[in-house]
Structure 1
Amino acid sequence: MRIAICDDEKSARDLLLQMLWEYPEAFSCLDTYESGEEFLESGKNYDLLFLDIDMKGMDGIETARKIRLRDKKLKIVYVTAYREYAGKAFSVHAFGYLLKPVKKERLFAQIEDAKSYREEEKQEEEPLEFMTTEGRTLLLPGDIYYFEFWNRKIRLCTKEGILEMKGKIGDVRDRMEKYGFAAPHKSFVVNLERIKNIKGYEIFLMNGACIPLSQKQAVGFKETLSKYLADRKEV
């Protein structure tokens, strides 16, 4: 699992880190952040976030609202010394709620619950089949960042790396539209879920990639993205 801690108190971050290091299984990623702003600016994807509510600057509730605009699946567990925040925490679809001082047993129980839900979600999401140069490949839509028509082939940029296949980018666009993909340029089809921000005619993705936004398609693409984000906000 990929886990993050966001708390403006160093002692609280260190305590959680120490307990997480004692968890019997290793995590693929374990990062810490000092503020909601720092977490959001990172653009990184996680499976589980331990988030303090009462932080300086952007508090945990507002941080979660902004997270939900781009990520509905992240499991957010609030960690706070104030029980009265519980109602607000669940208004932004919090996965859990831990009171400080956190007990290791409760912390581990939240991790186990998150792992169980994660496995169920993976089973619900059907993989798609692609005939790549490496052979028949199954990919989850969420694991694909974008498709690019390059050198008479289609490049698939995924979480695991780059794959190539034959075909037409227009056919890819039509096939992937129902999975939340759209074309910002005649040579690209991008996963709207993986867009971090747009500056001018450049689209920055959460994996650090930058792809072009054509001037001709800019207005329509931004409208498609806005509608996609609005629809997800209502979920």
Structure 2
Amino acid sequence: MIRIALCDDERDELNLLETVIKQYEEERNLSFRITSYKRGEELIGNWENFDIVFLDIRMSGMDGMEAAKSIRKKDMQVEIIFITSHIGLTREALAVHAFEYLEKPVSKEVLYQQMDEVLDKISRNKQIEAKRKEIVEINAGKSVIRIAVDDIYYFERNDRKIKAVTKKGSFIVNETISSLEQKLKTFDFVMPHQSFVVNINQMQDYYKDEIIMMNSDTIPVAQKRSSEFKKVMRDFLQKQMNKSL
């Protein structure tokens, strides 16, 4: 079920928006839970984990932009769509990572198109998130450790031993660096150095010859792998940009 919040202090506009979204729900054979609010304060005070929020920017009391800023403090994943009769606020809309900015009156065709696009993005994001939560099995000698992909920072080879560094601690594994790279490459793991396999999603920063991980560990980037690694990073960043569109 997709949870949708509508917030507009003009009752007619609010009713029209709800009516068209319900028509879309029925025609697409989907399941929505729609909650309507007439004030920004009411939306924030009764906040739930919504998937989509339609916000009028100009409202009495807390306006839509203020409400969006408060929402972002609670939830970075919800998709915000501004609907307003006033133009010129797109820069502010970008600052709160709005999905779209629509001018009133919004036609049925435009709203249907936006619903198609935002639901497609939500579906893609859920697939990516589910993949990162997938469990992989790592051979640890006498036992097999099952761990979520997103809990792994990196693997390091040192003195013929392979150490796994994870959110749950570190442990020695009975696998080779190359086998780990092959096993995990579909989950955005890369090999910037012959002794390391790194989870790109757990990178905090990247400099010319080193990576800073989310746990503050520093991973070297081998000179001979630098060009290949830069290409991998460009492809990864492009995927991230596509995800945010």
Instruction: Report the equivalent of 2:160.
Output: none
Work out whether residues 36 and 59 of structure 1, in 8 Å CA contact, stay in contact via their aligned partners in 2. yes
Alignment of 1:76-91 (within 5 A): 76-91=80-95
Instruction: Report the equivalent of 2:97.
Output: 93
Distance across 2 between alignment mates of 1:114 and 1:175: 35
Which one of 36, 40, 43 corresponds to residue 40 of structure 2?
Answer: 36
Q: Deviation string for 1:139-175 (max 9, x for gaps)?
A: 9x9xxxxxxxxxxxxxxxxxxxxxxxxxxxxxxxx74
Work out whether residues 3 and 27 of structure 1, in 8 Å CA contact, stay in contact via their aligned partners in 2. no
Alignment of 1:29-178 (within 5 A): 29-125=33-129, 126-127=132-133, 175=168
Instruction: Report the equivalent of 2:218.
Output: none
SS of the residue aligned with 1:120? helix
Alignment of 1:214-233 (within 5 A): none
Instruction: Report the equivalent of 2:31.
Output: 27
Consecutive unaligned residues of structure 1, counting only runs of 5 or more, are 130-138, 142-173, 177-235
Query: What is the TM-score when the length of structure 2 is the normalising length?
Result: 0.51
Work out whether residues 3 and 29 of structure 1, in 8 Å CA contact, stay in contact via their aligned partners in 2. yes
How many aligned residue pairs are there?
A: 137
Moved more, 113-122 or 72-81: 113-122
Distance across 2 between alignment mates of 1:46 and 1:118: 12
Distance across 2 between alignment mates of 1:81 and 1:128: 44
- Superposed CA RMSD in Å reads 2.5
Identity of aligned residues (%): 37
Distance across 2 between alignment mates of 1:42 and 1:20: 21
Matched AA of 2:112: F
Distance across 2 between alignment mates of 1:34 and 1:67: 16
In our comparison, the structure showing a higher alpha carbon Rg is 2
Name which structure has the greater RCO, CA cutoff 8 Å, separation 6+: 1
SS of the residue aligned with 2:88? helix
Q: Deviation string for 1:100-122 (max 9, x for gaps)?
A: 01111111111111111112111
Instruction: Report the equivalent of 1:7.
Output: 8
Work out whether residues 50 and 78 of structure 1, in 8 Å CA contact, stay in contact via their aligned partners in 2. yes
Query: Residue 127 of structure 1: CA displacement?
Result: 2.7
Matched AA of 2:15: D
Distance across 2 between alignment mates of 1:95 and 1:43: 19
Distance across 1 between alignment mates of 2:168 and 2:110: 44
Q: Deviation string for 1:153-208 (max 9, x for gaps)?
A: xxxxxxxxxxxxxxxxxxxxx749xxxxxxxxxxxxxxxxxxxxxxxxxxxxxxxx
SS of the residue aligned with 1:5? strand
Query: Residue 17 of structure 1: CA displacement?
Result: 1.0
Distance across 2 between alignment mates of 1:27 and 1:50: 17
SS of the residue aligned with 1:58? coil
Query: What is the TM-score when the length of structure 1 is the normalising length?
Result: 0.54
Distance across 1 between alignment mates of 2:31 and 2:109: 18
Distance across 1 between alignment mates of 2:63 and 2:23: 28
Query: Residue 87 of structure 1: CA displacement?
Result: 2.3
Distance across 2 between alignment mates of 1:79 and 1:27: 23
Instruction: Report the equivalent of 1:224.
Output: none
SS of the residue aligned with 1:49? strand
Distance across 2 between alignment mates of 1:60 and 1:74: 15
Consecutive unaligned residues of structure 2, counting only runs of 5 or more, are 136-147, 151-166, 170-245
